[in-house]
Amino acid sequence: MIIHKNFIAGSWVDSGSETENINPSDISDIVGVYSRAKNDLAKQAIAAARKAFKPWQYSTPQQRFDVLDFVGSEILARKEELGRLLSREEGKTLAEGIGEATRAGQIFKFFAGEALRIEGDIVSSVRPGASVEVTREPLGVIGVITPWNFPIAIPAWKIAPALAYGNCVVFKPAGLVPGCAWALTEILSRSGLPEGVFNLVMGRGPEVGQTILEQSEVNAVTFTGSFATGRQVATACAARGARFQLEMGGKNPLVVLDDADLKTAVECAVNGAFFSTGQRCTASSRLIVTRDIHDKFVDAVTERMKGLVVDNALKEGTHIGPVVDESQLDKDLDYLRIGREEGARLAYGGKRLNRDTEGFYLEPALFTGANNSMRIAREEIFGPVAAVIRVKDYEEALATANDTDFGLSSGICTTSLKHASHFKRNSDAGMVMVNLPTAGVDYHVPFGGRKGSSYGPREQGRYATDFYTTVKTAYTLPL
């Protein structure tokens, strides 16, 4: 089998060690063999990026537009093939895989345009005759560390703005999904980028990731992943004064009020909680429902869940693919046990399933009778498991929604403009949805959360400039 190598200073580099990328829908299917880098290659990649930054920081917006537009166009032209690779290695359905690949292409196209729109200010000085210019400049070398659950979209929304604003990149993808990272790198390798501007190093987090955090030549680290790893990123970067940005977990509430349109509420809950196998940081894992609609809502959600097809991600008609790997499946099953022990009722699902191909299949699970202090309502499970929490009225629903260590996204289903408006203003989350699932966002507007979910400037949209550039204020007195 071909070994997919690391990409450093414009060349494909082997490490002498490799891993197999296994399809979670069919563990007999090896997606590919991928090189596994150690610290030495991470250091080489960082040195290559540092060297490349000297000229690349002065590249023209047109040069950067051309690179990003090329990458975006190729991803869009190959979205079916890349979507299939994504579904095969991560386990989300083919439709979801193609949707994510499309989004990655759109993100590159968006930031191609942003490369042309880097603006500054000219301000009158308070001193006679002088003028002030405020401009944005690139930071230098950006370490990009990504999770497994969005194998192409998350790398895209970090790499595209980093390059658009004139930075160099060292990219370390999650170990479970090297396929999409490598495919994206292969496209970037033909995009016209000078050698060393973009580098891929596939390897273990505590090794390659940690090296990126600790090397003084890395000016900033953009990280998406778990809260625990985010803490380590913060500690290491803060210790050496590097800029960092963290996107971490969620425990996102979907509030359903008595006046909600029942069909809309059920669709929002099922989509938000279970699609992509519940493996989304924006998944609705807490369904907070007021008392008069509670029973109708639970019955309708349960009915809808009975129609969900859990099967091989690549099979036509599959609604929910497998869990990403065995250890995540064990974690999901553990939380199903914990929920029952805590006194919640497993109203539907939660069984491990067998299918034609051997994979990590789990029936989506709905708990009822949960309360907000249970572990299943406080800790991120990151699987197809949701808990219904019954509340008296809107005020209790809002208080329960905000009573969490996280604050990524939140949602409300209601036909009351008064409650929708109040919720948008008072929900303690970075993203708020009205009559829409908590998961599923546009690619051209800011993405991020509050409290334990995020740290630092927002990602995506034009707000990305805040992280990927540094501001210079220049004063001139013409003589």
List the catalytic residues: 247, 281
438 scored as a contact of ligand NAD (CB under 6 A): no
Beta bridge partners of 13: 6
408 scored as a contact of ligand NAD (CB under 6 A): yes
What is the radius of gyration, based on Cα positions, of the chain? 23
Which residues lie closer than 8 Å to 226 by C-beta, 6 or more apart? 147, 248, 249, 380
Toward ligand NAD, which CB reaches closer, 120 or 175? 175
User: Torsions phi, psi of 35, nearest 5?
Assistant: -65, 145
Toward ligand NAD, which CB reaches closer, 167 or 409? 409
Using the rule CB under 6 A, which residue among 23, 191, 210, 215 binds ligand NAD?
210
Residue 415, Cβ neighbours under 10 Å: how many? 13
209 scored as a contact of ligand NAD (CB under 6 A): yes
Tokens of 264: 């809309």
Least distance from C-beta 217 to ligand NAD, angstroms? 16
Toward ligand NAD, which CB reaches closer, 93 or 252? 252
Burial of 78 (0-12, 13-18, 19+ CB in 10 A): middle
Picking from 86, 79, 83, the residue whose alpha carbon sits closest to that of residue 23 is 86
89 CA to centre of own chain = 16
Toward ligand NAD, which CB reaches closer, 339 or 430? 430
Picking from 190, 196, 134, 197, the residue whose alpha carbon sits closest to that of residue 164 is 197
Toward ligand NAD, which CB reaches closer, 74 or 96? 96
145 scored as a contact of ligand NAD (CB under 6 A): yes
Task: Map the footprint of ligand NAD across residues 277-306, applying CB under 6 A.
Answer: 281
Q: CB under 6 A: which stretch of 130-138, 167-175, 310-318, 362-370 binds ligand NAD? A: 167-175
Least distance from C-beta 62 to ligand NAD, angstroms? 31
Toward ligand NAD, which CB reaches closer, 228 or 417? 228
Q: CB under 6 A: which stretch of 45-53, 194-202, 204-212, 359-367 binds ligand NAD? A: 204-212
Binding mask 216-255 for ligand NAD (x = CB under 6 A): --------xxx--x--x--------------xxxx-----
Q: CB under 6 A: which stretch of 8-16, 24-32, 39-47, 203-211 binds ligand NAD? A: 203-211
440 scored as a contact of ligand NAD (CB under 6 A): no
Size of the site for ligand NAD (CB under 6 A): 28
382 scored as a contact of ligand NAD (CB under 6 A): yes
206 scored as a contact of ligand NAD (CB under 6 A): yes
Using the rule CB under 6 A, which residue among 105, 147, 359, 456 binds ligand NAD?
147
DSSP assignment of 399-445, as one string?
HHHH-SS--SEEEEE-S-HHHHHHHHHH--SSEEEESS-SS---SSS
Least distance from C-beta 243 to ligand NAD, angstroms? 16
Picking from 230, 280, 265, the residue whose alpha carbon sits closest to that of residue 92 is 280
Q: What is the residue type of 371?
A: N
Q: Are 410 and 268 in contact (CB under 8 A)?
A: no
37 scored as a contact of ligand NAD (CB under 6 A): no
Which residues lie closer than 8 Å to 212 by C-beta, 6 or more apart? 42, 46, 143, 145, 170, 172, 201, 218, 221
Tokens of 113: 């345009």
Phi-psi region of 345 (alpha: psi -120 to 50; beta: other; left: phi over 0): beta
Residues of this chain that interact with ligand NAD (CB under 6 A) are 145-150, 172, 174-175, 205-206, 209-210, 213, 224-226, 229, 232, 247-250, 281, 380, 382, 408, 453
